[in-house]
Structure 1
Amino acid sequence: MAVVAAARKGRLRQRYDGEYRLVAGCVPYRVRASGGGGEVVEVLMVSTPNRADLVFPKGGWEDDEDVHEAACREAMEEAGVRGHIDRVSLGLWVFRSKSSSGGGGGEMSTSPRGACKGYMFALEVTDELERWPEQDTHGRRWVSPEDAFGLCRYDWMREALAALLARLSPPAPAPASLVLPPSAPEPAGVYGMAMLNAAADRALALC
C-alpha cells in the first residue's frame, strides 16, 4: 500500500504580503470524450466539513515553495490529484480567511487585516490518487462546468471558473487581413521576441 504524505499544518512558513496572507489554489479539470464523438470538460471540486457546497482546492503559500508548487500541493492534499499546471494564473483575488469570516472563508474583503490574497491556476489532472492526506475531511467530485457554477460558494470562484473555460475555448479565426501568406517571413525583432516570451510564459509544468 502506498504511503500517503501528511498534509502541512500550521503557519510557521506562511508567506505574507504586508497584512495579507498569501494563498494558492487551482481549478482542476479534465477533458474527456463525449458519447457524441466530441469532448466535454469537467472540473473537480472538494467538500469541506460541515458545509453542503463545494470549493476548489487552495491553501497557504509557504516560504520554501513557489506559487505553482503551493497550488499543486494543495490539489494533492485536498483533492488527491496531480497534473499539468498552467503557469499563467487565472487571476488574483482578495478575500477573508476562514478564521476572520466565521469559519466559511473566501468572502471578498476590503480590509487587509485577516484577509488573504489568492492566486488561482488551471490544473489539467493526469493522476488521481486512491488515498490522499485530507481525504477524511475533503471528498472530491467531478462536475460539469454548469453544475460547478451553481455549486460555487463565492463570486471569485465563479470568476476563476469562467477564466478557465475562456482559456479552454478554441480561439476565433483570425481575420483574413491578418493571416500571413505561406511565403511570409517569420516574425522577428521585438514583436517576434514578445511572441516567443508569451509562449514560454504559458508552458505547462508537471507537478
Structure 2
Amino acid sequence: MNMFRRSFQMILGRRPPALQVGAICRNPETGQVLLITSRDTGRWVIPKGWPMEGRSLAHAALQEAWEEAGVRGKVEMGELGRFRYDKRQDSGFALPVEVALYPVEVLELAVDFPEHDERSRKWFTPAEAAELVEETGLQAVLRGLKPVA
C-alpha cells in the first residue's frame, strides 16, 4: 500500500464493515460444496453479493447462487455463520465487508445462467473447499460443516 493511501486510512480510521450475503451450496446426497471462480482473479470463492431490496438476506444469497453459479435450490433462513474480508475497489482502497452465509441445498445446476461465460464451477468436499478459499473465516465455516444425513 502506498504512503498516501496508508496515511489517508489512518486519518479516517477503519469504517464498520459493509454487509454482503453468501451462499454455501451443497449437494444434498454427497455433502460436497460448490465453489466458483472469481471474475477478476480466477481464485475459488462462494457465490456472494449485496443484499437486495425486497428480499430477505437468505433469498438474496439464493439469487446470487443462481446468477453466479446457476444453482436452483432451497435456502434455509438461518445463518451458517459470518466471515470478514477486505474487498479491493478499483480506486485501490479496501472496503471492509462482513458476509452472512446461508446454506443452499442444490436441486439443479443450470447450463445457461447469467454469469456462465465468466466463471467456472466445481464440487469439492468441505475440507477441500476450505483449503482452496483464501478467507480464514470462510475456511472455518467450511471445516465446521456437518455431514449430510
TM surpasses 0.5: yes
User: Equivalent residue for 2:18?
Assistant: 21
> Percent same amino acid among aligned pairs?
26
Quote the offset at 1:102 in angstroms. Answer: 5.4
Question: 1:143/1:102 Cα in 2 relative to 1: closer, same or farther (>3 Å)?
Answer: farther
Specify which of 49, 69, 93 is matched with residue 39 of structure 2. 49
How far apart in 1 are the matches of 2:83 and 2:42? 23
Q: Which one is further off, 115-124 or 141-150?
A: 141-150
Residue deviations 1:4-28, cap 9 Å, x none? Answer: xxxxxxxxxxxxxx85322101110
Count, aligned residues: 135
How far apart in 1 are the matches of 2:38 and 2:82? 22
AA partner of residue 85 (structure 1): V
Question: 1:59/1:101 Cα in 2 relative to 1: closer, same or farther (>3 Å)?
Answer: farther
Quote the offset at 1:92 in angstroms. Answer: 2.2
Query: RMSD over aligned Cα, in angstroms?
Result: 2.5
CA contact (8 A) 2:23 2:62 kept: yes
User: Equivalent residue for 1:74?
Assistant: 64
Specify which of 90, 93, 113 is matched with residue 80 of structure 2. 90
Specify which of 126, 129, 139 is matched with residue 158 of structure 1. 139
Q: Which has the larger radius of gyration?
A: 1
User: Equivalent residue for 1:178?
Assistant: none
Paired residue secondary structure (2:32): strand
How far apart in 2 are the matches of 1:45 and 1:102? 26
TM-score by length of 2: 0.78
Q: Which runs of 5+ in 2 are unaligned?
A: 1-14
Specify which of 66, 90, 99 is matched with residue 118 of structure 1. 99
How far apart in 2 are the matches of 1:54 and 1:24? 17
Paired residue secondary structure (1:97): strand
AA partner of residue 123 (structure 1): V
Quote the offset at 1:159 in angstroms. Answer: 1.8
How far apart in 1 are the matches of 2:91 and 2:85? 9
Question: 1:52/1:63 Cα in 2 relative to 1: closer, same or farther (>3 Å)?
Answer: closer
How far apart in 2 are the matches of 1:115 and 1:101? 14
Paired residue secondary structure (1:49): coil
